């Protein structure tokens, strides 16, 4: 049975007449009479006794009325719940990442979020790159993308995916003869990074620093295209995950080399204030981010 018939029965029973019900349902008395007649033909029994001054429910009609009340109340309750949920679905999210390579994939994701969730405004804050976790704690941004989980109890860290960093080298580089690069190999090389400080550079923070190694020369080149051109000229090497270079046309003269015998792997986390996880629009962002980036390697 269609909802409109249940609403028809409920309204007539409570108003007591077709005339009053037509105003409530925004239909003419003639249209209501025809709908009720069609319904009774489908059901095979009368729903109302027609009297001159009042319409009264039959025994069968009374059962339908109580059913209509239950169903309509349930629908209205559900719609109210949905409205409450949707009320928390809109908001602005400021995002930053400690890893410059992530900026290769974020714009497309932000564009995708704009299509799926136009009520969520995502702002990429480049200025917070060097200290994104501190910026989250200071309420300057809302979400940080990092490779080390912070210990602060007011923050929640959500693991997104694990990737591997490779050394990108020219085929004529002597290191190209090695199966993988060891820490001491970096003593004589020119390392090209995105930016200082070194604690934001994964290859140094997780591999060179712990081994007490400082490359012979380090240059900060914020543009990936320029860094690759320098490697292409065999001026130095850079270290990046392969997925961050998918949008670039790489020369056949460039090779990827493992860093360390077992490879230099790192995990990526979304860091958010615990208090913000109750906001629907924040959770919508987190779930979609994890779904979008979980296959990056």
| Spatial distance between the Cα atoms of 107 and 244, rounded to a whole number of angstroms | 13
| Spatial distance between the Cα atoms of 189 and 236, rounded to a whole number of angstroms | 7
| Spatial distance between the Cα atoms of 286 and 292, rounded to a whole number of angstroms | 10
72-78: long-range contacts, CB 8 A cutoff, minimum separation 24: 72/3, 72/6, 72/7, 72/10, 75/3
Residue 34: count of CB within 10 angstroms of its CB: 12
Whole-number pLDDT of residue 79: 84
Domain assignments of the chain as residue spans, ordered by start: 3-87, 91-156+274-293, 163-265
| CATH of span 3-87 | 1.10.10.10
Query: Which architecture characterizes domain 163-265 according to CATH?
Result: 3-Layer(aba) Sandwich (3.40)
CA pseudo-torsion sign 140, 148, 160, 207: positive
The residue ranges of the chain whose pLDDT is under 70 are 84-87, 297
Residue 138: count of CB within 10 angstroms of its CB: 10
Whole-number pLDDT of residue 87: 66
Yes or no: say if 119 and 148 are a contact pair by the CB < 8 Å rule: no
Yes or no: say if 277 and 136 are a contact pair by the CB < 8 Å rule: no
Query: Which architecture characterizes domain 91-156+274-293 according to CATH?
Result: 3-Layer(aba) Sandwich (3.40)
| Spatial distance between the Cα atoms of 90 and 84, rounded to a whole number of angstroms | 12
Of 286, 264, 268, nearest to 277 (Cα)?
A: 286
Of 125, 122, 135, nearest to 96 (Cα)?
A: 125
| Spatial distance between the Cα atoms of 282 and 141, rounded to a whole number of angstroms | 12
Whole-number pLDDT of residue 84: 63
| Spatial distance between the Cα atoms of 164 and 202, rounded to a whole number of angstroms | 10
Whole-number pLDDT of residue 256: 97
Q: What are the φ/ψ torsions at residue 104 (nearest 5 degrees)? A: -75, -30
Yes or no: say if 234 and 170 are a contact pair by the CB < 8 Å rule: yes
Facing residues of 166 across strands? 240, 258
pTM for the model: 0.70
Q: Are 91-156+274-293 and 163-265 the same fold in CATH?
A: yes
Which residues have C-beta within 8 Å of that of residue 255, sequence separation ≥ 6? 168, 169, 170, 171, 176
């Amino acid at each position: 049975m269609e909802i409109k018939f249940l609403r028809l029965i409920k309204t007539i029973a409570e108003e007591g007449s077709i005339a009053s019900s037509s105003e409530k349902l925004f239909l003419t008395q003639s249209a209501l009479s025809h709908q009720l007649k069609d319904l009774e033909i489908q059901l095979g029994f009368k729903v109302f006794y027609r009297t001159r001054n009042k319409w009264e429910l039959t025994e069968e009609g009374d059962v339908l009325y109580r059913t209509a009340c239950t169903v309509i109340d349930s629908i209205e309750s559900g719609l109210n719940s949905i409205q409450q949920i949707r009320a928390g679905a809109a908001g602005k999210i400021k995002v930053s990442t400690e890893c410059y390579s992530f900026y290769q994939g974020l714009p497309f994701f932000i564009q995708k979020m704009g299509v799926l969730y136009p009520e969520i405004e995502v702002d990429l804050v480049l200025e917070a790159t060097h200290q994104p976790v501190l910026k989250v704690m200071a309420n300057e941004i809302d979400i940080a993308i990092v490779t080390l989980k912070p210990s602060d109890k007011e923050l929640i860290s959500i693991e997104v995916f694990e990737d591997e960093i490779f050394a990108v080298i020219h085929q004529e580089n002597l290191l190209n003869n090695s199966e993988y690069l060891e820490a001491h190999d970096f003593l004589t090389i020119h390392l090209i990074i995105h930016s200082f400080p070194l604690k934001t550079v994964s290859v140094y923070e997780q591999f060179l620093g712990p081994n007490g190694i400082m490359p012979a020369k380090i240059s900060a080149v914020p543009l990936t295209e320029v860094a690759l051109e320098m490697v292409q000229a065999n001026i130095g090497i850079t270290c990046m995950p392969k997925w961050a270079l998918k949008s670039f046309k790489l020369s056949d003269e460039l090779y990827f080399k493992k860093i360390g015998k077992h490879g230099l792997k790192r995990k990526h986390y979304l860091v958010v204030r615990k208090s913000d996880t109750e906001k629907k629009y924040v959770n919508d962002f987190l779930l979609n981010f994890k779904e979008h980036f979980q296959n990056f390697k």
